[in-house]
Amino acid sequence: MRADRLVATLMLMQTRGRVTAAELADELEISVATARRDLEALSAAGVPVYPQPGRGGGWQLVGGARTDLSGLTADEARSLFLLLGPAAATPEVRSALRKLLRALPATFRAEASAAAAAVVVDPAGWGEPERPRPPLVDLLQSAVVRRARVSLTYGSGQDPRLVEPWGLVGKGELWYLIAGTERGRRTFRVDRIAAAEPTAQTFTPPEDFDLNAAWQEVVEVVEQKQTETSATVLVSPRHVRVLRDQFGRHCHVLEERDGRTLVRLTAPRPIMIAQHLAGWGALLEVVDSPEVEAELARLGSELVARYGSPAAAQP
């Protein structure tokens, strides 16, 4: 996980003071290119990590080898916890973040703690295609940490509304804002937010608000709507990972059968499963869903009608 590497990189630099990308790659068992990207990410996030050119150069944590991180400014501490917080799903990363938090000067701890809790990452996507990170994520992250109300326009043609940004969730390729509104707690898909402008007004989140718990409630509601259709397929074990990438948490591995893996897929409608599976051709077999099989046959007929004639095959 990238957050593990970033914490390990920072700890290593505290110990050595200066490292090269090659040394870091060897230490963490990653490629040199990955090590360089991680160092650049720390630097871009505001952590005082800078490249040193020339013979004997490398990357240096400004201030030398130190273990208390007391040289970080408030902005740098916030940036670090925003960078690491979204992936703090494992006990190891949570432990590292707690150690970093304790090491910060007392005046920075509240903001850094808020930054670490500002984002939750749910790695199991909805089966959506890859898409770029919405540009508003960083602005909303900052508003969550600073507890600043945001004037938000959701969708086109809507009037702005004033919301309290309580937290952000990264769900596969999608991002969601959980916010307090005059009508209670609401969830907004970030890529559907037309405009967002932080205000000078601040707020205090509800004492009992827990971002992880709130997100699980959202997931349960969505899951109920997205599991109305299921299909069981047989596929080679080496292709299961690809199916998981396509269907996210709607992909359930059941058992091994005659050298292949039995997998159950779910979606709101048969066509949504068929559209994902059409490109697999004969690499998998649908075994228990006549509705999905019918949709696959219909899609196949449409493709043959358009591309299967001798005339269509001519260069």
pLDDT tens for each residue of 238-262: 999 899 888 887 888 999 988 999 9
Structure tokens given for 283: 């690499």
| 76 and 87 Cβ atoms separated by less than 8 Å | no
Torsion region of 266: left, alpha or beta (phi above 0 gives left; psi -120 to 50 gives alpha): beta
- The DSSP annotation for 11-65 comes to HHHHHHSEE-HHHHHHHHT--HHHHHHHHHHHHHTT-SEEEE-STT-EEEETT-S
User: What confidence score (pLDDT) does residue 129 get?
Assistant: 60
User: What confidence score (pLDDT) does residue 237 get?
Assistant: 93
User: What confidence score (pLDDT) does residue 157 get?
Assistant: 75
User: What confidence score (pLDDT) does residue 312 get?
Assistant: 47
224 φ, ψ (degrees, to nearest 5):
-60, -35
Segment of 59-68, 76-85, 115-124, 197-206 carrying the highest mean pLDDT? 197-206
Q: Lowest-confidence range among 16-20, 225-229, 237-241?
A: 225-229
Say yes or no to pLDDT of 281 above 50. Answer: yes
Give me the mean pLDDT over the 156-163 stretch.
87
Give me the mean pLDDT over the 232-241 stretch.
93
Give me the mean pLDDT over the 283-312 stretch.
86
Structure tokens given for 228: 């109305």
Give me the mean pLDDT over the 3-23 stretch.
74
Of 172, 312, 166, 168, residue with least CA distance to 251: 172
How far apart are the C-alpha atoms of 37 and 41, rounded to whole Å?
Answer: 6
Question: What's the pLDDT tens digit per position in 60-107?
Answer: 876 543 444 545 555 555 555 555 554 444 555 555 555 555 555 554
How far apart are the C-alpha atoms of 227 and 189, rounded to whole Å?
Answer: 20
Give me the mean pLDDT over the 178-206 stretch.
92
Domains, the chain, with CATH or none: 2-111 (1.10.10), 136-219 (2.30.30), 227-308 (3.30.70)
How far apart are the C-alpha atoms of 154 and 156, rounded to whole Å?
Answer: 7
Percent of the chain with pLDDT over 70: 67
Instruction: Give strand pairing partners of 285.
Output: 234
Classify burial at 276, counting beta carbons within 10 Å of its beta carbon; exposed 0-12, middle 13-18, buried 19 or more: middle
User: What confidence score (pLDDT) does residue 215 get?
Assistant: 87
Q: Which residue has the higher pLDDT, 150 or 307?
A: 150
How far apart are the C-alpha atoms of 284 and 242, rounded to whole Å?
Answer: 12
Distance of CA 123 to the CA centre of its chain: 6
Q: Which residue has the higher pLDDT, 187 or 84?
A: 187
> Rg (Cα) of the chain, in Å, rounded?
24
The chain-wide mean pLDDT, for the chain, equals: 77
Of 190, 185, 267, residue with least CA distance to 231: 267
